Structure 1
Amino acid sequence: MNAWLLATAVLLTLGLPPCLWAASRGPAHERLAGLNLATTVATVLFLVTAQGFGRSSYADLALVLAVLGPAGTLVFARFLGGRSMDAADTEPHTEA
């Protein structure tokens, strides 16, 4: 593997844990941003790996992830549907 590709793969791999941490903690809009960024970083990591090892199957995996990433965002947003973006607002609103 080329030295530049190896350095890129290492840096991208080091970028995944903060994305996953953001996707698992905090308010909903921060989790959504972490999920989107993790999907993008993983897609680029698979493309760099495909280039480095010369295997087209990794590029196929990256393309599938690139297509399913926005679908995951839509599913995430659907489940958050009517909820407030404020983490402190946990009680449902009632009409008086």
Structure 2
Amino acid sequence: MNAWLWCANVLLAGGLGPAAWLGMRGDPVRRLVGLELGGVVATLLLLVFPQALGQPSYLIVPLVMALLTFVGTLVFTRLLAPRPAGT
């Protein structure tokens, strides 16, 4: 087992667990932080796996995911915004 796969295991155990915990508990702002943390950890995992497997062509997936995670956060934040009365 090479160092890249060890790094992926550490990210999986140490990153996705706390992200899921934050995403399921607390107020909407805390859940948003969990969503962001989960997106970052998942993107890092998708960057580590191609290095471990020696397939640099798979690096396009985490780059697209980073953009989609950012857009998803903007949509989620928009839904959290307080709405004016009467709308």
- Could you say which TM-score interval applies, normalised by the shorter chain? 0.7 to 0.9
For 2:63 and 2:26, the matched residues in 1 are separated by: 29
Please, what is the CA RMSD of the aligned residues? Answer: 1.7
- The amino acid of 1:73's aligned partner reads T
TM-score under structure 1 normalisation? Answer: 0.77
In percent, how many aligned pairs have the same letter? 46
Matches within 5 A, 1:74-85: 74-82=74-82
1:60, CA displacement in angstroms? Answer: 1.2
Unaligned stretches of 5+ residues in structure 2: none
Q: Partner of 2:81: helix, strand, or coil?
A: coil
Once the two structures are TM-superposed, the CA of residue 54 in structure 1 deviates from its matched residue by: 1.8
Partner residue of 1:49? Answer: 49
Using the alignment, how far apart are the partners of 1:56 and 1:30 within structure 2? 35
**2:5 matched residue in structure 1:** 6
Aligned equivalent of 1:63: 63
Higher fraction of helix:
2
Tell me, in whole angstroms, the C-alpha distance in 2 between the residues paired with 1:58 and 1:44: 13
Q: How many equivalent pairs are there?
A: 83
TM-score, with length taken from structure 2? 0.84
Q: 1:57 to 1:23 in 2, by over 3 A?
A: farther
Alignment-mate amino acid for residue 10 of structure 1:
N
Q: Does 1:31 align with 2:31?
A: yes
* Larger-gyration structure (1/2): 1
In the TM superposition, what whole-angstrom CA distance separates every residue of 1:25-61 from its partner, at most 9, and x where no partner exists? 2111111111111111110110100111122353111
